[in-house]
Amino acid sequence: MSDVPEHRRAVIAGIGHTEFSQHSGRSPLQLAAEASLAAIRDAGLSPADIDGNVTFAMDGNDELAIIRSLGIPELRFSARTRGGGGGACATIQLAAAAVESGHADAVLVYRAFNERSGHRFGQPQVAPNPDPAWNLHKPFGLDTPAKIYALAFQRYMHEHGLTNADFGLYTVVARDWAATNPNAQFYERPITLADHQASRWIVEPILRKLDCCLETDGGVALVVTRAERAADLPSVPVHVLSATSSQIEHGHEMFAYYDQDLGEHQEAAAVGRRMYAEAGLTPGDIDVAMIYENFTPVVFLQLEALGFCGRGEARDFIVEGHIGRGGSLPVNTNGGLLGEGYIHGMNNIVEAVRQLRGTAPNQISGAEHVLVSAGRSGLILGRRP
Amino acid sequence: MIQVRPPVPNQDDAFFWDGARQGKLLLQRCAECGTVRHPPAPMCGTCGSLATDALECSGRGTVHSWILSHHPTEPDEAPRVVVLVDLEEGHRLVSNLVDTSPDEIHNGMAVDVCFVECTTTDGGTITLPQFLPAGRTATDR
Ligand SMILES: [Zn+2]
């Protein structure tokens, strides 16, 4: 448990985002600025109140360009998370560390890109990659995230006797949630398992098109401050009960093949253990889970690693209806990254805040604790301290 | 003919590609404590030594996992089987399974290394360690 006094603990005070689309028609910087100003105003603050920022190492929007666009006079804390979407929750961890320690009073967290109309993550890496981690993989044909991840997912399927149709069970649930979320790109477009099975192979026999997240243009921002500061603001604060990350010695966000048990998401398991201990909660206390999914199988691996079901039991957990409407653990109630859109996992944190404020399009009544997992980082957010 | 996107070898992993060109499957080994590390790294995480030699592997192993690469990418005109191989020395390697029909592949199948010279997308050539079902001989490529 944290030894930071309750009044100094971190809260998420503001959320903002642009529309999620396949073609924004404007610069990533504009998307970042629009989402950021929306989040600052949602918090009841003005840009001059922001004195810290966090974004992804991969984000293309420079901090100075952001503060110039928004009219933020000075940042006294500025940080970036390593890696890609696995670090989505680590942005909040860094922001919380900054406000709880006093290194900043109000931290703006942003992520924005044109990931569909601009650089598409799903396309092959054509240019020689300066990161030597690619050397032992790209020459053998591992040049897209789908292929890179699928090589590990196949082992999980083999161990538990799963087929691609089992992964489609998750897609059907996610698209059901998205169908009633007006922010979702697949609003009013639910699918059946037959639709999933009719989508084309991306990596046979592991992933079809409808197992993949939705490359998206858009921006998301959040504002993190201390509970004592939020008490003076008009917005409803959401409390950061736990925020942690995991980078392990032989792990890798893409090429995690070596010295690994491919049937377990080891970072998510470490993140889960630490989160529950810090928050003083158990998996049974979680009302809603937001689980990063670049591809459907990572939902299975995280459900197991986070203790919501046992190893190899995620398929049955989904079949039993736990993660859908009326289930014991609604998962990705915005439609997730393959139903609402893929803003590198940050839109899942926005949904968690809405669930705790009671303002989500698919509101789960009485939600007290929402867990957000990005695999390599995670949060437990609470309606109360 | 597969066109390969070439690696950009550096001081830490050039030995792997040099070995393949000589028909050897080499893994980096700490010259002080003998710890094998793959992928390569400049320092031994076990003892801190910077001195390395190489373990020449037998090339025998089993398939840990596999995919059929279908994504419509240009170099992969024909579907390519990518495998994770558990080498008999106890280390894991990414490679390809050649001259093998997808319906005969299964987790745990025994495989042997072969060395295949491939053309690269930048107009050069590279020798890749590849794998065949155990006992099978590579067709002339
Ligand atoms: Zn050593």
**Tell me, what's the pLDDT at B139?**
66
- Give yes or no: residues B49 and B73 share one domain: no
* CATH number assigned to the domain comprising residue B83: 2.40.50
Q: Are residues B62 and B40 in the same domain?
A: no
Instruction: Say whether both B84 and B120 belong to one domain.
Output: yes
Using a CB cutoff of 5 Å, list residues around ligand 1, an ion: B 30, 32-33, 35, 44, 46-47, 49
Q: Is residue B3 part of a domain?
A: no
Say if B2 falls within a structural domain: no
Residues B96 and B84 in one domain: yes
Domain-located, residue B119: yes
The predicted pLDDT at position A257 comes to 96
Rounded CA-CA distance A98/A225 in Å is 9
A170 is catalytic: no
In a domain, B140, yes or no: no
Residues B46 and B73 in one domain: no
**What is the count of structural domains for chain B?**
2
Cα separation of A380 and A243, whole Å?
7
A288 phi/psi in degrees, rounded to 5: -145, 140
Return the residue of A nearest to B14 by Cα: A135
**Within this chain, do residues B15 and B63 fall inside the same structural domain, yes or no?**
no
Quote the minimal CA–CA distance from A261 to chain B in Å: 11
Q: Are B32 and B79 part of one and the same domain?
A: no
One domain, residues B96 and B111: yes
Are B26 and B84 in the same domain? Answer: no
Q: Which domain holds residue B28?
A: 11-56
- The angle, 0 to 180 degrees and rounded to 10, between the axes of the packed helices A297-305 and A145-160 is 60
Q: Kindly write down the DSSP assignment for every residue of A111-148, as one continuous string.
A: EEEETTTSS-TTS---SPPSSGGGTTTGGGT--SHHHH
Q: Is A156 a catalytic residue?
A: no
Single-letter code of the amino acid located at A102: G
CA distance A79 to A94: 7
Contacts of B91 in chain A (CB under 8 A): 258
Angle between helix A266-279 and helix A297-305 axes, rounded to 10 deg: 40
Residue B74 confidence (pLDDT)? 53
Task: Please give the helix or strand (H or E) that residue B68 lies within, else none.
Answer: strand B60-69
* A160 φ, ψ (degrees, to nearest 5): -115, 10
- Element housing A100 (H / E): helix A88-101
B52 found inside a domain: yes
> Chain B residue with minimal CA distance to A153?
B65
Domains and CATH numbers, chain A: 6-119+214-382 (3.40.47.10)
In a domain, B1, yes or no: no
CB contact under 8 A, B92 and A129: no
Residue B139 forms part of a structural domain: no
| B141, part of any domain | no
d(CA B51, ligand 1 centre) in Å = 8
Whether B94 and A137 lie within 8 Å, measured CB to CB: yes
Would you give per-residue pLDDT tens digits along chain A (385 residues)? 578 999 999 999 999 999 999 999 999 999 999 999 999 999 999 999 999 999 999 999 999 999 999 999 999 999 999 999 999 999 999 999 999 999 999 999 999 999 999 988 888 877 777 788 999 999 999 989 999 999 999 999 999 999 999 999 999 999 999 999 999 999 999 999 999 999 998 998 999 999 999 999 999 999 999 999 999 999 999 999 999 999 999 899 999 999 789 999 999 999 999 999 999 999 999 999 999 999 999 999 999 999 999 999 999 999 999 999 999 999 999 999 999 999 999 999 999 999 999 999 999 999 999 999 999 999 999 999 9
Please list every residue in chain A whose beta carbon sits closer than 8 Å to the beta carbon of residue B128: 139-140
**Residues B79 and B125 both lie in one domain:** yes
| pLDDT for the residue A84 | 92
- Which tokens sit at A269? 């398991």
Both tokens of residue A32?
Answer: 């970042």
Q: Are B52 and B116 members of one domain? A: no
